[in-house]
Structure 1
């Protein structure tokens, strides 16, 4: 078993549940949303938690707001720590609405991004155009993630449409399909105005797709993370995690926190 700290803890102390996967991994993915961290804070985050982060998303359309050197340094640091770093899906939606898709791809490639997110949370995107964007991203050597769901407050999931989208996106080559939860986790997608969801809805989705391990759930709230891990296990993929919550989430995944302590004894 790979040792990921300098202290040689007994394995049962590091991972009481005993189901944590290690990088590079295909399940148990953690995606962190960066809403504008400074470079020093970003470097400190990766120096302490990089083994627990698989994807970093520069949220929304923040990518063009950075000084070029800062942005390139962030991208370089992420890749040095074997993390996929992507511009936010909303930024690609901006490129689509402004008819700048070719310029968008040219710039993110030149800057060194190694992933993209294809979404239509704010715009309408035809199935054909979605397929074309996935294909183009893959041809450019990028790791392609997609997202289903609208960002409008109160927007709900259409289960039939969701299942169809998941199947189609995976067939076209998407690594993961994210279910919208925004950075708030409240009153969008499967979450109600209190940030809660019916676990029957989760299982309805999981049981309806052929590769449930390729679904990522945006779950920024602790209560949501606990719900998913208690019901789907430590290998569930979770996104929109705050940088300051990476250790907390990792503790939940391993049974190092009271909320999932019981899973170590199953």
Structure 2
């Protein structure tokens, strides 16, 4: 840091198991990635190459190398996994992971119907080759999953070998964990946390108000995902209580 400020919350250190920030790369150029790494690399733990952007991006290996050289884990979006599976090309998907030296993968079923035991089989198989993140929740805003079901799905996927489970919100933050307005389904989140340890969940929270809500509820070291690359540093200031939204949350009682 550039100077000393007392009474800041203690942030976990990289490589982190909690307090993760997962950024979403929706097709940035290599130069943009270099710029982001220069400023935000120390605060970024994981990067998701969103959807199937890796299929069309012209310099994919070079981009992956940039992230890995910066000590940042990178993986392909779950929609790409589904695109391979629905075409009966899972073995080809495994070859893609090998070809590009990827050590992380996402398993999701937000865009296609998949029996949960089948999804868990994919998680289990992939976990023997890479670190798996599994996404829970539907991209269909009309599909409401009750809290007990979220808990059951998350627990089963962790048991199947997932390193973390991801709470679905899409890049807009308006499905799954959130209402179409972006408001958090607070009862859902709080009930999930009664059964699933917070450090095992990455909450997709692309909107600032959502990030603030989770930090106030869980603390500075909550895992947050689908963060826009240029919002990583602003998020870090929210985590540290250095922005108006959380300014008083981490001060000693005598300072408030």
- State the TM-score, normalized to the length of structure 2: 0.94
Report the count of equivalent residues. 252
The unaligned stretches of length 5 or more in structure 1 are: none
Paired residue for 1:95? 84
- RMSD between superposed Cα atoms in Å: 1.4
Looking at structure 2, the residues matched to 198 and 115 of structure 1 have their Cα atoms a distance apart, in angstroms, of 29
Give the secondary structure class of the aligned counterpart of 2:239.
helix
When normalised by structure 1's length, the TM-score is 0.90
Distance 1:107 1:74 in 2: 15
Assess if the C-alpha contact under 8 Å between 2:123 and 2:162 holds in 1. Answer: yes
Separation in 2, partners of 1:76, 1:143? 18
- For residue 223 of structure 2, the aligned residue among 227, 237, 246 is 237
Aligned mates of 1:148, 1:111 — CA distance in 2: 26
Give the drift of 1:228. 0.5
1:91-113 Cα distance to aligned partner (Å, 9 max, x none): 00000111111011101221122
| Structure 2: unaligned runs, 5 residues or longer | none
Q: Deviation of residue 11 (structure 1)?
A: 5.3
- Residue 62 (1) aligns with residue 50 (2): no
Rounded to whole Å, the distance in 2 between the matches of 1:173 and 1:61 is 24
Partner of 1:105, secondary structure, is: helix
Is this contact kept in 2: 1:156–1:190, CA < 8 A?
no
Give, in angstroms, the shift of residue 18 of structure 1: 2.0
Kindly tell me: are residues 11 and 24 of structure 1, through their superposed partners in 2, closer, same or farther at Cα, counting changes over 3 Å?
Answer: farther
In the alignment, the residues of structure 2 paired with residue 54 and residue 230 of structure 1 have an alpha-carbon distance, to the nearest angstrom, of 21
8 Å Cα contact 1:34/1:243 also seen in 2? yes
Question: Which of residues 170, 180, 191 is equivalent to 2:178?
Answer: 191
Runs (4 or more) in structure 1 with deviation over 3 Å come to none
- In structure 1, C-alpha distance between the alignment counterparts of 2:124 and 2:188, rounded to whole Å: 30
